């Protein structure tokens, strides 16, 4: 019961606190919080909002899994943002430049994206294990390099082409598309949403049912203790970063293979940073991450309704930021409460033990 409470209570407190903070902000601005939140909930049933939430949930879920693998090793892979962007443009260029049979074409694009993401993550990983460079600093710098590299690759004199006022990579032929589930006027669910679910299952199996997962968690808890057990901390850092980068490379695949079929200047940004927040909210557990991804997608898509009731959409950003800040505080508060409760329980048990040599 204590473990369940420790897992569920912090995110619940974080969500309640962020809602309270946003409610106060709305009142101060002269808006009605009930009207604003009611509009967000009712927006789910409008147009393609529900399907958009499902699609965004899958994308955020993949990004959060990439971050969570690093967290398991006590690595802060902020570079997911750059890793998925590089993977997206490389995979789009590859997909639009080759002709392969249906199915094989899409699979090849997915593999190229995973390899590109892993190779981009390998740079900070190698710097970490060989020179001791902090991965936070190196991955932040790699994000900037990724943005510049993507802009260079889609130039008209490199791999890009001008279509109207937009520059993009050559369109991937239909043999490389992944069909979705059409719901008519409600939209189409990306076919690769199911890839996100499969990755979540694979992540749980890896962390809880394999030796690699045990060694990964052990190295994250204590590299010294893991080394005493024959586990190379440097090897685990390298493998964890490569795996994190490979999954990060898949973040863009649902949209590129399911809808856009190209990489262009309007490609979504910020998904990697949202993945960090979702991983924190879900506490690196695949089920918790799924809930966090769904909540994040709901806030993103339902916030469109706020303009209709005269409320600024920035309130959604305030709520998301409050969740990120408060979830860390909530976990620490609950951890200290659980620790104090455990100490009291042990103290009561020790108090009932008869002293050695006492009266018979």
**pLDDT reading at 14 higher than 80:** no
Rounded Cα–Cα distance for residues 195 and 239 (Å): 22
From 88-102, 201-215, 336-350, the region with the lowest mean pLDDT:
336-350
Mean pLDDT calculated for residue range 198-217: 93
**pLDDT reading at 12 higher than 80:** no
Mean pLDDT calculated for residue range 281-290: 89
Rounded Cα–Cα distance for residues 340 and 228 (Å): 31
Mean pLDDT calculated for residue range 341-351: 82
Give alpha helix (H) positions in the chain.
2-28, 33-43, 49-72, 80-97, 104-131, 135-153, 193-209, 211-221, 223-228, 233-248, 253-255, 271-281, 286-302, 314-351
Going by pLDDT thresholds of 50, 70 and 90, the confidence category of residue 360 is very low
Going by pLDDT thresholds of 50, 70 and 90, the confidence category of residue 248 is very high
Place of tokens 């979504």: 268
Task: Tell me the pLDDT tens digit for each residue of 112-135.
Answer: 999 999 999 999 999 999 999 999
Place of tokens 């030796």: 211
Q: Which of 1-10, 20-29, 92-101, 207-216 has the highest mean pLDDT?
A: 92-101
End-to-end CA distance of the chain: 37
Percentage of the chain beyond pLDDT 90 is: 54
**pLDDT reading at 356 higher than 60:** no
Task: Tell me the pLDDT tens digit for each residue of 139-171.
Answer: 999 999 999 999 999 998 899 888 878 899 999
pLDDT at 7: 63
Q: Which residues of 165-185 are buried (b: 16+ CB within 10 A; e: fewer)?
A: eebbbbebeeebbbebeeeee
**pLDDT reading at 357 higher than 80:** no
Higher pLDDT, 335 or 58: 58
Rounded Cα–Cα distance for residues 305 and 95 (Å): 36
**pLDDT reading at 3 higher than 70:** no
| Residue among 272, 282, 280 nearest 204 (CA) | 282
pLDDT at 5: 59
Mean pLDDT calculated for residue range 323-344: 79
Task: Tell me the pLDDT tens digit for each residue of 99-111.
Answer: 999 999 999 999 9
């Amino acid at each position: 019961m204590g473990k369940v409470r420790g897992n569920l209570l912090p995110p619940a407190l974080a969500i309640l606190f962020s809602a309270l903070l946003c409610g106060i902000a709305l009142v101060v601005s002269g808006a009605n919080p009930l009207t604003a939140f009611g509009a967000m909930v009712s927006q789910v049933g409008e147009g393609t909002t529900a399907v958009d939430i499902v699609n965004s949930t899958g994308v955020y879920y993949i990004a959060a899994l990439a971050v969570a693998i690093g967290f398991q090793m006590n690595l802060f892979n902020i570079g997911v943002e750059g890793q998925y962007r590089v993977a997206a443009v490389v995979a789009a260029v590859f997909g639009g430049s080759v002709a392969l049979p249906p199915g094989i074409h899409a699979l090849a694009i997915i593999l190229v994206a995973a390899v590109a993401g892993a190779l981009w993550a390998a740079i900070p990983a190698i710097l970490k294990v060989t020179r001791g460079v902090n991965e936070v600093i190196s991955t932040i710098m790699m994000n900037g390099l990724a943005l510049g590299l993507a802009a260079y690759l889609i130039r008209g004199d490199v791999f890009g082409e001008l279509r109207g006022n937009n520059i993009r990579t050559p369109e991937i032929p239909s043999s490389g598309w992944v069909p979705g589930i059409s719901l008519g006027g409600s939209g189409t669910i990306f076919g690769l949403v199911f890839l996100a679910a499969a990755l979540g299952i694979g992540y749980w199996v890896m962390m809880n049912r394999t030796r690699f997962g045990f060694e990964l968690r052990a190295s994250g808890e204590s590299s010294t203790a893991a080394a005493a057990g024959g586990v190379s901390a440097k090897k685990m850092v390298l493998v964890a970063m490569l795996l994190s980068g490979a999954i990060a490379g898949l973040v863009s695949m649902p949209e590129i293979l399911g809808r856009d079929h190209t990489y262009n200047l309007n490609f979504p940004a910020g998904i990697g940073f949202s993945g960090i927040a979702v991983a924190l909210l879900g506490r690196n557990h695949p089920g918790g991450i799924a809930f966090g991804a769904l909540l994040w997608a709901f806030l993103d898509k339902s916030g469109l309704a706020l303009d209709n009731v005269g409320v600024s959409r920035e309130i959604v950003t305030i709520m998301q930021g409050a969740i990120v800040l408060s979830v860390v505080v909530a976990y620490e508060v609950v951890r200290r409460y659980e620790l104090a409760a455990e100490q009291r329980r042990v103290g009561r048990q020790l108090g009932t033990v008869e002293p050695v040599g006492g009266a018979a």
